[in-house]
Structure 1
């Protein structure tokens, strides 16, 4: 099967610093496609601002865990499919795969948030099996959307919490440090698995690549090198 996309996913805890790296990458790769998490859809189900599934999820994971995880899958896949299929229509043939950067991925949604809910007993066995059946179907029918590389923004949970408080997003007001610690560990466990077939680039999220130009340049050069190697391999 001809490869249509090179998909690079920015992964990291809530508040790790992914958005800042996105801005660096946008400057370096203006022709690439950037797919952010469909946050507005989670906050406004079907355009209704009173239906905020993200807020409900954080306030009562046991009640809304499965609902949110399924909708996160659905909304992410719909967003990706709509935008990426349009890209293919507008792209000339024989130019090689299209470079795509995403904020998290279909795979990390399962490996991180869903498995954390299940491990904590917030999702039942029958819900787990329903989700897994859906996941297996997705992986079979949407192979083009599997990630080729993970840029992992590795940030201590305590730092993430400080950033969440600072940015003051309503839905995140009730996110406890314990949850961030568990999510951090899920990242660590997932990314050391030997069965992973994607490249991993680890970035120290505590480095001040927002204001320190020397640090920013160091990170920029690291990303450019790793991404070029990935593109050379896939072209």
Structure 2
């Protein structure tokens, strides 16, 4: 599990559309750095150390998994993306965006590129006032006192005015959803995505226990004989696992992410079972399905058949190597019918045929943004 760190950032702008500059920076920080937990009010202050337009200043509380030097690098990239042009001039200048790291947990950092706590933060009301608004009782690592006391001791006499405008805080996935189910065909990447999301958002992870099913290898060798015991054992295990895990609230996890939804049992059973077997199976399924909690978001990963076969071959499970394209198409048709008819689920379909979200961070962020906006 990645370690979540709390960092406090100061943002300032005095050029162009200042509200838009701040909101764009907030959105990029949320997309690339981590979840924004708090945003201060906006404070207008005169330019510091030079003659220029008034600044709009805010502070953010951000949860991030990045180490401090990586965080700095990404913040500099955000400034560049938003049009900031740095020069060798050491004097203060107008800028469309300026982002500084004020605090990084309770760490004290002195490196060639970064000093934390920010060495000038205690001298500047345009930093301390918005910071105290969101972190009054946070202790300054060097001063050994809370920030609200640091503000009282600040000798800066600059005028600072809170303005009535406000900024929108992006809502993180773990705040928006309590339970997310990731689904897809065999080899679509649902388990990989569930693992990645669970790690990033500190979620409780529920993974299907297919490897423990003794009927699965036998089924791929003799489908007619082992279809019914396979589907019944999967149904019983999925039901028990979801009942147990969804009812146990974990104080240290933000949400639940699973790599399957129990309805997949019915989809596969429709394909593999004979008519009489399916009718019996359906009676059992309906009883169990009514007792299972429904996900807040049902994500279906679509992969074209060629990519599915390629992924199945790559992961090298011996009992899967003889899976045919026609069998994958039947599974896809089953999911399609389910999605069309199950109107009670909040469903998001993502085509990942041309995405490599495991190895390409940009592709992974594309999926996260789709989930955020679902």
TM-score by length of 2: 0.49
Q: In the TM superposition, what whole-angstrom CA distance separates every residue of 1:55-101 from its partner, at most 9, and x where no partner exists?
A: 1112222111111111001111222233333x23x659xxxxx7321
SS in 1 for 2:255: strand
Tell me: CA distance 1:148–1:66, structure 2 relative to 1, closer, same or farther (3 Å). Answer: farther
SS in 2 for 1:146: coil
Q: CA deviation at 1:22?
A: 1.4
Detail structure 1 runs of 4+ shifted over 6 Å in the superposition.
none
Which structure: greater strand fraction?
2
Structure 2 residue 289 is the aligned partner of structure 1 residue 133: no
- Greater relative contact order, per chain length (Cα 8 Å cut-off, separation 6+): 1
Structure 2 residue 208 is the aligned partner of structure 1 residue 37: yes
Query: 2:349 & 2:197 partners in 1: Cα distance?
Result: 15
* Aligned match of 1:10: 182
Q: CA deviation at 1:188?
A: 1.9
Which structure: greater helix fraction?
1
1:75 alignment partner, one of 223, 237, 247:
237
Alpha carbons 1:107, 1:146 under 8 Å: kept: no
Q: CA deviation at 1:152?
A: 0.6
2:274 alignment partner, one of 119, 124, 133:
124
1:202 alignment partner, one of 341, 344, 349:
349
Query: 1:40 & 1:208 partners in 2: Cα distance?
Result: 24
Q: In the TM superposition, what whole-angstrom CA distance separates every residue of 1:110-160 from its partner, at most 9, and x where no partner exists?
A: 1x211122xxxxx233312211111121133x14x2333211110011110
1:1-235 maps to which residues of 2 (within 5 A)? 6-30=178-202, 32-42=203-213, 52-85=214-247, 87-88=248-249, 91=251, 99-110=255-266, 112-117=267-272, 123-140=273-290, 142-143=291-292, 145-193=293-341, 195-206=342-353, 207-226=355-374
Relative to structure 2, which stretch is displaced further, 57-66 or 209-218? 209-218
Alpha carbons 1:76, 1:106 under 8 Å: kept: yes
Relative to structure 2, which stretch is displaced further, 66-75 or 208-217? 208-217
Q: 5+ residue gaps in structure 1? A: 43-51, 93-97, 118-122, 227-235
Tell me: CA distance 1:196–1:129, structure 2 relative to 1, closer, same or farther (3 Å). Answer: same
Paired residue total: 196
Structure (1 or 2) with the larger CA radius of gyration: 2
Alpha carbons 2:262, 2:289 under 8 Å: kept: no
Alpha carbons 1:77, 1:106 under 8 Å: kept: yes
SS in 2 for 1:10: strand
Query: 1:220 & 1:102 partners in 2: Cα distance?
Result: 15
TM-score by length of 1: 0.75
Q: CA deviation at 1:19?
A: 2.3
